Amino acid sequence: MKQKKDTETNNSASNPERPLLRIPNLEYGVLDNLLGFALRRAQNTLFMDFYRATADYDISPQRFAALVLIAENKNIRQAQLAEALGLHRSGALRLVAWLSERGWVERHDDDIDARAWGVSLTQAGSTILGELTKVVQEHDFNIQRIVGDRNSQLKTDLELIAKNGLTAINVEI
């Protein structure tokens, strides 16, 4: 049940246009020594491959993550989804509206808080998520093949960076 991509929304700013490859004979100065720049280049490559892998779907990593979180957390509140994805509430509202317009999720009154919205996956959303999960897992497997035996340590290191943030004074290693 593939839903073809909408070229207008697929050309959004989140869709990387070109890889950040090294250009021969171009001096990079301090950038060559910055871990952040290396991570940015890697992120760009991963995003480009994600978009290649999911080209038959109008999906971004954030939209995929939202579908997974909604599927795994029955009746998740829209505010919880926003927090989990690092979005402002208005961003989560737009994201859920986008998913809802495709028939993949539905909003409903929250059972506990009448001021809040709950979000659930529809049958169509479950079907599309099943298809996407296979595609995204294959994409991720290709990443794991590149880093090989270092996969687990790399993931741990990246989680450490995410957990501690850039303002942490004491970083555990």
What average pLDDT does range 58-86 have in this prediction?
94
Burial class, 46, CB count within 10 angstroms (exposed 0-12 / middle 13-18 / buried 19+) = middle
| Distance, CA of 93 to CA of 78 (rounded, Å) | 7
pLDDT given for residue 117 in this prediction: 81
Predicted TM-score of the model (pTM):
0.81
CATH of domain 7-147: 1.10.10.10
pLDDT given for residue 15 in this prediction: 61
Residue 154 pLDDT more than 80? yes
Show me where the domains of the chain are located.
7-147
pLDDT given for residue 171 in this prediction: 47
Residues whose CB is less than 8 angstroms from the CB of residue 104 and which lie 6 or more positions away in sequence, other chains included: 67, 121, 122, 124, 125, 128, 129
What average pLDDT does range 129-157 have in this prediction?
95
pLDDT given for residue 167 in this prediction: 62
What secondary structure, in 3-state letters, does 138-162 show? HHHHHHHHHHHHHHHHHHHHHHHHH
Lowest mean pLDDT segment, chosen from 62-76, 140-154, 156-170: 156-170
9-67 pLDDT, tens digit per residue, is 444 435 667 778 888 999 999 999 999 999 999 999 999 999 999 999 989 999 999 99
What average pLDDT does range 123-133 have in this prediction?
98
Other CB atoms closer than 10 Å to residue 65's CB: what's the count?
15
**Better-scored residue on pLDDT, 96 or 2:** 96
Is the CA virtual torsion 40, 144, 159, 53 positive or negative?
A: positive
